[in-house]
Amino acid sequence: MSTHVYHPSIQEEGLHDGCDRCAEIAAAPIENLDSWNLPILISRVLAWQKDEAFPRSDNELVAMRVIETALRHHAILAKYDGVTA
């Protein structure tokens, strides 16, 4: 696991560019964010989809796209609720 460089809190300012740990989190935010920060990112994605928020860094854009894709997949899979193998 990489380490964070000093930067303001991701809760307040998002994932920072130039930080290896933030880039690692951005690539897999669902697996890497805690139960406090993941809902914040999800809320930002939902606001972004309504043009009410925008990525604050390239790393945050990567993470937001991952979450956006997961939300889209969830909506598709929800149509098959109750399907068993």
* Contact of 19 with 4, CB cutoff 8 Å: yes
**How far is CA 85 from each of CA 2, 39, 53, rounded to the nearest angstrom?**
39, 31, 40
Cα(55)–Cα(70) distance, rounded to whole angstroms?
A: 17
pTM across the whole model: 0.86
pLDDT at 4 over 70: no
Q: How confident is the model at residue 46 (pLDDT cuts 50, 70, 90)?
A: very high
Q: State residue 10's pLDDT score.
A: 83
CA distance 11 to 1: 20
